[in-house]
Structure 1
Amino acid sequence: MLSKDILSLAMRETMSRTSMERRPRTSIDAVAPDAELQQVSEAADRAYQAAYHFNALAASRLIPEGGLVLDLGCGSGGFLVYLAQHRPDIQIIGIDPSERLVARGQQTVEDHALTDRVSVNHCDLTSFSERIPGRVDMITGVFTLNQLLTMDDLLRCFQQISQVRIRCGCAAWLFDFARPKALNTAEEFAGTLMPGLPVLFRRENRNALMSAFTYNEVSDAVNKVSLGTVHHAQSKNLHVYQAHWLEREDEHKNSKNNPWVEGRLSANVLQQFKQICEMFPTVPLPQHLK
């Protein structure tokens, strides 16, 4: 069941008569000192753990055993490492346009002893299709699209995904914020995730929501590119999340019996995870792991 904080915020968002314009942001890695960047990265990994779990489960269903994953906008490696830990059979190539975040991501991978299966590389999100291996089984992007500066950049990113998919029939899973109507929603949303988050993270979370594309903007952009049958979903009640995914084109369409390694979630993270599941009733997840 959704928390009172989320339901209250959802009601105010629904009643809002405003329509917030998109405000592309300067990424924190471009301006913040190392100590502040580390503080925000660590806070994000704590605050988004339920979202990481939801996304890892949703993506894992589409990754064949022993598959190769391309993770777009991997940043400092929070989601990429989480997925790798729960799918010890797969390899992951992470790319990000920020050299500072790539350096942090490489350190994160090393700290978790995953360098034999996971790499983090500097690469633009609008020109990556020719720089990756010929065979990719899955493309993921979690909290990535809001980093793109313009609608043209969004279209170019989708065109790159299309070129990879045409080449190897891979699946894709894209999850991001959806820009709310009201500024107050963007400002208050971080408070629904976890108490005691630092001010710097709450500000960065607000900026990410303000720079996010709306659900309709992303859906329309996807439909302009030759990707095949794309499934779309927006979070119910509080419309601040969106998901878009493609099934695999080959005989390994779904990985029903993949070697997922379950971990223990804290009570708070488990509650948040169940709330995200409730927000996305149409997203397929392994039933025994929900």
Structure 2
Amino acid sequence: MTLSQCYAFLEIESTATDEEAKSAYRRKAKLFHPDLNDNNSGQFLNLQFAYETIINARNIHSKLNVFDEIFLKENYFKASDTQLQHFQRLERRYRARKIILLKKQKQQKVINDVYDKYRFTWRFPLVLFYVFIATFLLVLLVYDFNAQVVSKSFHLVSKENLNYNISEFTDNFIIVENEKFYVSKDFYMSTQKSDSIIINKTPIFNIYKTLQISGIGWDKFETIHSFINEAFILVLLLLFVPFLSMFFMKPNFIFVFVFVQYNFYVLPVLISYVLFVDYRIIALLKYFKFFQS
């Protein structure tokens, strides 16, 4: 007997309440009770089966709260299965779902604990401060790399080839203004000791961009290779992440284990690199006239 047949046997709708199902059962029991007619014993057993099937299915449904409709579909209850087999199968699925639900609840509790420590303590104002600094640096770097470069001329102090093999010209570098610059073979061969070398820097952070040497009717440029130059777009994206995280503040896995951890541990290192490597903080303060050169 399928679930829909159970409802039909009791002559009630699937939306009927438990009280209505019980009343229908009692009404039918008076008709099919074996004490009234021995021939009704089979019908009475069917009545008990139908009533218990409906009540047990509803009990499991209420326990699960989010019970899959497949459990209550007519084709789920096979005519060849007994009532015990039906509900043993349902119970196994219910327990499996419950285990998964408990695991998710534990994971969510860990996430909520981390989120609460982040969102409702002194850590959140600290991250807001980091976000302000990172966004400020992001704007400054974009402006700095697109502004007119500052050019200064210096004399070439020395030039060397670390491989000591003039045919290969590997690891070529020149020293200008006490700075060592690795250059290409072409630029290396174009320079002579005491030549005038023009260094082009950004105006705010004094980041080296290019070297320039001039002759009669020609100019030769050499791009200076450094992390900030090579990974400029990456640095901008990393500085933009904390600002982006302010729009996705929810206690979920991605936010807690990506944004929160990044803002606390990676971002301070990135800010320190941008500000303090090559004394950029000094150049920045001078640009805003905190120091007079």
Which has more radius of gyration? Answer: 2
**Same fold by TM-score, threshold 0.5 exceeded?**
no
TM-score (norm 1): 0.19
Higher normalized contact order (CA 8 Å, seq sep 6+, divided by chain length): 1
Q: Which has the higher helix share?
A: 2
